[in-house]
Amino acid sequence: MPKIVDHDQRRQEIVEVTWRFIAREGIEKLNLRDLAAAAGYSNGALKPYFPTRDALLEATFNFVAEATNKRVEAKAMGLRGAQAIEAFACEVLPLDELRINEARIAVHFWNLALAEPELAAANAATMDQWRTWLDRWLGQELGERHMQATFVRDSLINFLMGAQVSSVLDMAANSGQSLVDQLKYHLQMLNRIK
């Protein structure tokens, strides 16, 4: 009797193994053969799920973005205004090993997205989601004035993007405590423009 395999579940398992592999070994070392070995699959067993390395990478990047956004939804969705913004930013900032690994993957991802329109579109979709959230929370905090203050929203997003890079390449000046202090500064500024 053939084994019953849940296709989606196996895809998910492969993606989770992949992102841990990239975080540990770096993306350059990623090939489907080593990955199959790491996941305990025979060579070739990955092909029905991910025919190419790029297909696997795209699924992996989407997985990481979704994981971040699910944490945001869990933490921020019961909150309003500046409290929601703080909860959101804390889930994006690389404050622990999981999120530092996510930051490492983000840097790899941006590099590939420069040459791959599908990856660039996936990134743009995540940024649109972030802008939608921030517009709602900034509206709760600032009222109608937030409509003119897109620079508040976009500079916060750029700060979060830069923190991804600096947490993995410029760690000495960007410890978890330093990133939290930088975020608090952003939130204080928000309070001062009210």
Number of C-beta neighbours around residue 9 at 10 A: 9
The 3-state secondary structure of 152-183, one letter per residue: HHHHHHHHHHHHHHHHHHCHHHCCHHHHHHHH
* Residue 173 beta carbon to a second copy: minimum distance, rounded to whole angstroms: 6
Site residues for a second copy, 116-135, by CB under 8 A, read 120, 123-124, 127, 131
DSSP 193: T
Residues 128-187 that bind a second copy (CB under 8 A): 131, 150-152, 154-155, 157-166, 168-170, 172-174, 178, 181-182, 184-186
The interface with a second copy within residues 63-92 (CB under 8 A) comprises none
The residues, ordered by sequence, that sit 6+ positions from 60 with a Cβ below 8 Å of its Cβ are 15, 18, 19, 22, 105
- Among 40, 97, 114, 194, which residue sits at the site for a second copy (rule: CB under 8 A)? 114
Structure tokens at 25: 């070994």
**Shortest Å distance, C-beta 49 to a second copy:** 25
Residue 53 within binding range of a second copy, rule CB under 8 A: no
- CA 102 from chain center: how many Å? 6
Q: How far is the CB of 141 from a second copy (least distance, A)?
A: 15
Q: Are 162 and 93 in contact (CB under 8 A)?
A: no
Which spans of this chain sit near a second copy (rule: CB under 8 A)? Answer: 26-28, 104, 107-108, 110-111, 113-115, 120, 123-124, 127, 131, 150-152, 154-155, 157-166, 168-170, 172-174, 178, 181-182, 184-186, 189, 192
